Amino acid sequence: AQTVTQSQPEMSVQEAETVTLSCTYDTSESNYYLFWYKQPPSRQMILVIRQEAYKQQNATENRFSVNFQKAAKSFSLKISDSQLGDTAMYFCAFTLTSGTYKYIFGTGTRLKVLA
Amino acid sequence: NAGVTQTPKFQVLKTGQSMTLQCAQDMNHEYMSWYRQDPGMGLRLIHYSVGAGITDQGEVPNGYNVSRSTTEDFPLRLLSAAPSQTSVYFCASSSLLAGGPYEQYFGPGTRLTVT
């Protein structure tokens, strides 16, 4: 069975600084997708970034980038130039490209950006 | 384009009562899913569907029923509510890209309290 682990329940960062959120996963499959979702206080879940496992290049979306280490089964999220609006819960998620159709989420990291 | 809609936003039930949480999407997505979110536990998959007439159990299906008679709608039924079902419920939908669910679009959530 696939699992997703986020070992940092809470983190804080100063505005304009850089922060990295950790995520590890476990699977015996080779084809899958990985995602980071953001949940601000409004409760709405928003996709931040996605990574296809077959792509070696790390995904980047503006100030958000990932460090995808397939062999280590690690998928960390780096937020550069942190802004107050980045304050939110961040969830790492995993799904296979075929087979079970089950989307697995980690337990989340609560990030607070300090002014 | 409304995306994913959920009703109601808030609900209070007494133990033993039944209710249906409604979910609809207008993006013609094949994949729809229900999650519950509890503090410290992330999002846990209750049931999912890969198309009209096809549903399957997720991680925590007990006490919940679903059906998928159309592509657009995926209601979640609580047959006999219990206090352990107090939670925030999210519906989500996704296209099935290359065989698996891809980016999920989430509804705004329903906060359910069972007394």
| Domains of chain A by residue range | 3-114
Does B54 contact chain A (CB < 8 Å)? no
pLDDT in tens, chain A (115 residues): 789 999 999 999 999 999 999 999 999 988 899 999 999 999 999 999 999 998 889 999 999 999 999 999 999 999 999 999 999 999 999 998 877 778 899 999 999 999 9
Q: How confident is the model at residue B98 (pLDDT cuts 50, 70, 90)?
A: low
Contact B102 A50 (CB under 8 A): yes
Enumerate the residues of chain B whose CB falls inside 8 A of the CB of residue A103: 33, 45, 48, 92, 101, 104
Per-residue pLDDT, A37: 97
Average pLDDT over residues B92-104: 81
Percentage, residues of chain B above pLDDT 70? 96
B97 pLDDT higher than 80: no
Q: What's the Cα-to-Cα distance from A42 to each of A3, A11, A82, rounded to whole Å?
A: 27, 19, 19
Residue B99 predicted with pLDDT over 70: no
Q: What is the DSSP string of A16-31?
A: T--EEE--EEE-S-S-
pLDDT of residue A108: 96
Question: What would the mean pLDDT of B21-46 be, rounded to a whole number?
Answer: 94
pLDDT at B96: 83
pLDDT at B74: 98
Q: Which residues of A81-104 are buried (b: 16+ CB within 10 A; e: fewer)?
A: ebeeebbbbbbbbbbbbeeebbbb
Interfacial residues of A (vs B; Cβ cutoff 8 Å) = 6, 9, 32-33, 35, 43-47, 50, 91, 95-99, 101-108
Average pLDDT (B73-101) is: 91
A3-114 has which CATH code?
Answer: 2.60.40.10
